[in-house]
Structure 1
Amino acid sequence: MKKCVTLLVLLATTLTIAAPLDGILERYQRSYFEGRRFIIDLNSGSTVRYEQVIKEKNDKLVTVISPERVVWLRFQEKYYIQKNSELLELTFPIYDLEDYLVDVLKRENYQLLAQKRDGSEDVYVLKSGVQVFTIWIGEDGFIDKIVRELPPGYRTALIYEYHEIKGLGETVRRYWLQHPVVGRITSNLSPVLRKIPKYFAWSNLRFFETKGGNIPIIYGITNEGYKVTIIDLDGLNDSVVTQILQRFSEKEFSFYVKKNQDGSKFLFVGDTSSEYLVKLATVIFEESGEGG
């Protein structure tokens, strides 16, 4: 009987703690709001971006005000980036810090570490894999601030300067209609980029300068905490590949080349075992239907 009572108490406590996070997710998913926010690298203390955001349920329009103007939007489950007065459809998603948090909450893939009251805000600390999120919720029930920490101590913050709750609106739809879609941005890395939110806690797409041009490279930290770099080898000669590999020569890294049926080749480099890289490459491309 005593064990039964203890179990019921623990269950009730778990449900009480989980309920606020369920409410946060539900409110965010159905919300319509407009606001401005800062994205800050807490390690350096520098502002990475200053953005204007319009969110209407699952549609989102983001205008990067600084350091340089960039506009991207998510409309009807598709992603676009603006070029002049026109839009280009992307074959891969764009995720901001809110999207990463929402994905964790939707998959219920987290452990709630702490919950407290800080002035007029409720603060929650949760852990998902190697990620630790701290979330500040205002009196209106919406997210005011998110801080995410990744190993080894990499911390970023999303802080709303203000947000205004809106009624029903079609601002994102009107923007999409007013800016014609004139093309698509495709990349051999698209299958990888589509799987980033599922297998990586953090990622960054950069370009490596070589004598033959700029090579797109994905740098990331997996959900298990490993640093993994993915490089499209299509069209690269041996000397360029050697240049790239020299960047990893100072530390011990494992390497794996994934060869697909369509002839594409991708180099996976990580501070983990080659067996792990093989497994990661396999699940990324098999789920995308492009493996071999």
Structure 2
Amino acid sequence: MNICSINAVLILIILFFQVFGFSDGYYIRMVYETSNSVSFMRSEEVYESGDYKIVIVNSPENFVWVRINDKYYIGSTNTLSRTFQIKDLSDIAYEYVKFKKLDISNDGVYRFTEEAFSIEIFVVSGEILRVVRKVGDVTTTMYINKIPKQFDIKALLSKYKLVDTTPLPEKFFLLSKFFLWASVVEGKDYVRIIGYDKEAKRLEVEINKTSGDYKIDSYYLKILKASDSTMKEIRNALRGY
């Protein structure tokens, strides 16, 4: 089945569920990523209620990540460890639209282009069914399908042991709020967080034990790249350090 056929099937399924008015449900998401040299597909189940979100990735590898309020956890077993923010394309699309104060209330395809990336959002009956992000030669597409199912989010969370212990000071996790999305690169003596801020500008910071712009406990924060406005916000958040 090609991507167009998959998309058509997903639209019909979601419209069917909406007609019958199911209020609770979980999401099946298929994520495709392609570039000039690599392509892959990932499937995941998503349970979301209020400030709680559980994402179970089933293929090509198995792991789980959880969001509780503004805290994130990840792991490949029932023990999940505290980590930097994790956002899927759905989260990114909603945050981008909210920050930019864009209107996507009508059905249709919305395309937004920034200097470094573009986002395409496909809306049917007020629901986002597809998000496409292009960064350089990499295109990532998420198909979203809501399945009716009653569930207790706290009961699902009780299956996992959430570990808050981390060597990094809690203050560093405040950096999450400045990123629209980011990836984390770990080196021998540093952790580098690379991504884009809410204004779609490049944002890159590094946490290490040797030098930086701010010293917090036994660690340093080095701001490698940031717009003037984001730099100011980070400085205000870390004032006194």
TM-score (norm 2): 0.70
Aligned to 1:157: 141
CA distance in 1, matches of 2:74, 2:171: 18
Identity %: 21
Kindly report which structure 2 residues correspond to 1:1-292, keeping only aligned pairs within 5 A, or say none. 32-44=24-36, 46-47=39-40, 49-82=42-75, 84-88=77-81, 90=82, 92-110=84-102, 122-126=108-112, 132-138=118-124, 141-150=126-135, 152=136, 154-160=138-144, 162-166=145-149, 169-170=151-152, 172-188=153-169, 191=171, 193-198=173-178, 200-208=179-187, 213=188, 215-223=190-198, 226-235=201-210, 257-260=212-215, 262=217, 264-270=219-225, 276=227, 280-287=230-237, 289=238, 291-292=240-241
- Deviating beyond 6 angstroms after TM superposition, the runs of 4 or more aligned structure 1 residues are none
Q: Residue 224 of structure 1: CA displacement?
A: 5.3
**Residue identity matched to 1:283:** E
Task: Flag the structure with more relative contact order, 1 or 2, with Cα contacts below 8 A and sequence separation at least 6.
Answer: 2
SS at match of 2:236: helix
Aligned to 1:8: none
Aligned positions, number: 219
Question: What whole-Å deviation, never above 9, does each CA across 1:22-81 have from its counterpart, x for those lacking one?
Answer: xxxxx9xxx743232222223346126321212234422101112321111223554333
CA distance in 2, matches of 1:286, 1:142: 36
| Closer/same/farther in 2, CA of residues 92 and 102 from structure 1, 3 Å limit | same
Q: Residue 87 of structure 1: CA displacement?
A: 3.6
8 Å contact from structure 1 (residues 38, 51) kept in 2: yes
8 Å contact from structure 2 (residues 63, 77) kept in 1: no
- RMSD of aligned Cα (Å): 3.6
**Residue identity matched to 1:134:** E
Gaps of 5+ in 1: 1-26, 237-256
Aligned to 1:17: none
**Residue identity matched to 2:158:** L
8 Å contact from structure 1 (residues 41, 156) kept in 2: yes
8 Å contact from structure 2 (residues 209, 219) kept in 1: yes
SS at match of 2:213: strand
Structure number with the higher helix fraction is: 1
| Closer/same/farther in 2, CA of residues 261 and 47 from structure 1, 3 Å limit | closer
TM-score (norm 1): 0.59
CA distance in 2, matches of 1:111, 1:132: 17
| Closer/same/farther in 2, CA of residues 142 and 228 from structure 1, 3 Å limit | closer
